[in-house]
Structure 1
Amino acid sequence: MPTTLTLKNIPDAVYDRLKRAAAMHHRSLSSEAIVCLESVLLPIKMMPSERIARARELRAVLPAGKFRARDIDAAKREDHS
């Protein structure tokens, strides 16, 4: 059964980052917070071979030439600034 949790005194920087992540993922603040908590507290353990296989499956369905390594690197740098 789901439980309600109220958070107080969230640092502004944490709130702002959560709000941006929620918007980027098209989720509510609450849903984004749950996803963040689950990813830290309930991580999925995956063998490296399985992780590589999943990455290859994803790559196979992406449009060819649309996602180049330099574009991905630029997006990562932009997200971390």
Structure 2
Amino acid sequence: MPAVTVKNLPDDLYQRLKTNAQAHHRSINGELIATLERALCVQRTDPEQQLAQIRALRRELDLPPLDLDAIRAAIESGRPASRHPSVHGRQRSTQGIS
């Protein structure tokens, strides 16, 4: 297996790597490999494909849509829209946000 030497690693970057390694119960080498894998092996998702997956999940959850009035009322009251009284018991609306 190939080995890599990292030269001139800034102290603050090394400390962050060390802190992350401790938090994930890994060696510094293990954390460095995991970090490189996350950075270099990311699969880019097509936005349309991602949107289709989100819509499919929403259909599975069968949540009532939020309308703009419910969202505004939730913002003004400081409560999440899902807890706002006007949302509970409401029939699905074609005017909701989907």
State the TM-score bracket (shorter-chain normalisation).
0.5 to 0.7
Q: What is the match of residue 25 of structure 1? A: 24
Q: Which has the higher helix share?
A: 1
CA radius of gyration, larger in: 2
Moved over 2 A (4+): 44-50
Task: Write the mapping of 1:46-57 to structure 2, written as runs, cut at 5 A.
Answer: 47=50, 49=53
Inter-partner Cα distance in structure 2 for 1:3 and 1:31: 14
Q: What is the match of residue 5 of structure 1? A: 4
Give unpaired runs (5+ residues) of structure 2.
58-98
Task: Count how many residue pairs are aligned between Structure 1 and Structure 2.
Answer: 50
Q: Given residue 38 of structure 2, which amino acid in structure 1 is its aligned partner?
A: S
With the length of structure 2 as denominator, give the TM-score of the two structures. Answer: 0.45
Inter-partner Cα distance in structure 2 for 1:24 and 1:44: 25
Inter-partner Cα distance in structure 2 for 1:25 and 1:31: 10
Post-superposition offset of 1:40? 0.9
Q: Given residue 28 of structure 2, which amino acid in structure 1 is its aligned partner?
A: L
Post-superposition offset of 1:19? 0.1
Q: What is the match of residue 38 of structure 1? A: 37
- 1:12-68, CA deviations, whole angstroms, 9 ceiling, x for partnerless residues? 010000000000000000010011111111113453637xx6xxxxxxxxxxxxxxx
